[in-house]
C-alpha cells in the first residue's frame, strides 16, 4: 500500500552517493520503496543503483554530459555532492555551487510535475543574512571565469570558499524555488551540523577540531550520522513535504535555534 513517504516507481538522481550522506540515502530510499536511482559521482557506489554516470561536479563539460545522459522523467534530484576547503577555493565553489546550479537548471525540464529538488547545504552557510545582497549578486553571475573573478574581488567574504559556497546554496534554494514552482517542482535544502562522514577529518583541519567538537558539544555531544541527514533529504523529496518549498531545513539538533536565541556557551571556545 502506498504512503506519503513512498518512493516506489519513482526515478531519482543523486550526486555524491559513493560515501557519507549520499550512500546512506541509497539505503533509506531502498527502504522506502526501491526507486530507480541514477548516481552522479567521481566514484562508483556499491549500493543499490540502476545507473552510474561518472561525473565531476566541478567540471561544466562533465555535468553537461551527465544532463544529456539522463532520460526524462525524473521525480527527485538530490544535489548532495560536496567537498571541503582542503581543496582550492575555485574547486570548492565549482563543485559545491556551480555544479549544483548547472545540474538543477539542466534537469529541471526533465523533472515531472509534483517532483522535487533537495540540496545538501550546511549550517556553515547560515550567515547569509549579514550580506544577502552580495550573495544574490554572486549567484546571479552566469559565467565561470566571471564568478572566479568576483570571488577574488570579494576574497574576505568568500574566505576558503566552503561556508560561502553553502551560503550560495541556501540563498539559491530560496530564490530558485519560485522558478521551479512554475514547473510544479519544489526546491528545498537540508542544512546539517557536523556529520560523521569521511569529510569530517577535512573539516577538523579547515575549521579546527576544537570548533567542530565545541559545535557537537553544544547540541548534546552526539554527532549526526549520515542516516540522520539522509532521512530528512528523503522527506524533502517525498509527497510528505508536498507544501514545503524554498525552505532551508536545519538538521542540526537545535544548534541554529540555540544560536538565534543566545543559548550557545562560547566559554569552551576561548
Binding site for ligand NAD (CB under 6 A): 15-22, 41-43, 55-58, 80-83, 95, 120, 122, 192, 194-195, 197-200, 203, 226
Q: Facing residues of 76 across strands? A: 12, 116
Which CB, 34 or 225, lies closer to ligand NAD?
A: 225
CB of 173 to ligand NAD, least distance (A): 13
Instruction: Please check whether residue 255 is in contact with residue 218, taking contact to mean a CB–CB distance below 8 angstroms.
Output: yes
CB of 154 to ligand NAD, least distance (A): 21
State the residue number with the nearest CB to ligand NAD. 20
Which CB, 8 or 222, lies closer to ligand NAD?
A: 222
CB of 3 to ligand NAD, least distance (A): 27
CB of 48 to ligand NAD, least distance (A): 15
Q: Facing residues of 54 across strands? A: 41
Which CB, 93 or 185, lies closer to ligand NAD?
A: 93
Exposure string for 159-179, b = 16+ CB within 10 A, e = fewer? ebbbbbbbbbbbbbbbebbee
How far is C-alpha 72 from the geometric centre of its chain's CA atoms? 22
Residue 119, burial from CB neighbour count under 10 angstroms (0-12, 13-18, 19+): buried
CB of 153 to ligand NAD, least distance (A): 25
Angle at CA of residue 51, ends 62 and 69, nearest 5°? 40
Which CB, 88 or 114, lies closer to ligand NAD?
A: 88
Which CB, 122 or 241, lies closer to ligand NAD?
A: 122
Give the residue from 185, 172, 110 showing the smallest Cα distance to 142: 172
Amino acid at each position: 500500500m502506498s504512503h506519503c513517504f513512498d518512493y516506489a516507481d519513482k526515478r531519482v538522481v543523486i550526486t555524491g552517493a559513493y560515501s557519507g550522506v549520499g550512500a546512506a540515502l541509497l539505503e533509506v530510499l531502498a527502504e522506502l520503496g526501491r526507486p530507480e536511482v541514477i548516481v552522479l559521482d567521481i566514484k562508483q557506489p556499491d549500493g543499490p543503483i540502476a545507473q552510474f554516470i561518472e561525473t565531476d561536479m566541478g567540471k561544466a563539460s562533465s555535468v553537461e554530459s551527465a544532463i544529456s545522459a539522463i532520460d526524462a522523467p525524473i521525480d527527485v534530484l538530490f544535489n548532495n555532492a560536496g567537498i571541503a576547503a582542503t581543496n582550492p577555493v575555485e574547486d570548492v565553489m565549482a563543485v559545491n555551487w556551480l555544479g549544483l546550479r548547472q545540474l538543477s537548471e539542466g534537469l529541471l525540464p526533465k523533472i515531472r510535475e509534483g517532483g522535487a529538488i533537495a540540496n545538501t547545504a550546511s549550517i556553515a552557510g547560515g550567515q547569509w543574512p549579514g550580506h544577502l545582497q552580495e550573495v544574490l549578486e554572486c549567484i546571479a553571475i552566469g559565467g565561470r571565469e566571471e564568478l572566479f573573478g568576483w570571488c577574488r574581488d570579494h576574497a574576505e567574504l568568500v574566505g576558503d570558499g566552503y561556508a560561502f559556497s553553502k551560503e550560495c546554496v541556501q540563498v539559491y534554494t530560496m530564490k530558485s524555488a519560485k522558478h521551479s514552482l512554475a514547473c510544479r517542482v519544489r526546491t528545498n535544502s537540508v542544512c546539517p551540523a557536523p556529520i560523521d562522514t569521511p569529510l569530517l577529518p577535512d573539516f577538523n583541519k579547515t575549521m579546527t577540531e576544537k570548533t567542530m567538537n565545541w559545535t557537537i558539544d553544544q547540541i548534546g555531544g552526539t554527532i549526526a550520522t549520515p542516516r540522520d541527514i539522509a532521512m530528512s533529504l528523503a522527506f524533502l523529496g517525498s509527497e510528505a513535504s508536498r507544501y514545503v518549498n524554498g525552505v532551508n531545513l536545519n538538521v542540526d539538533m537545535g544548534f541554529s535555534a540555540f544560536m538565534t536565541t543566545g543559548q550557545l556557551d562560547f566559554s569552551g571556545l576561548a
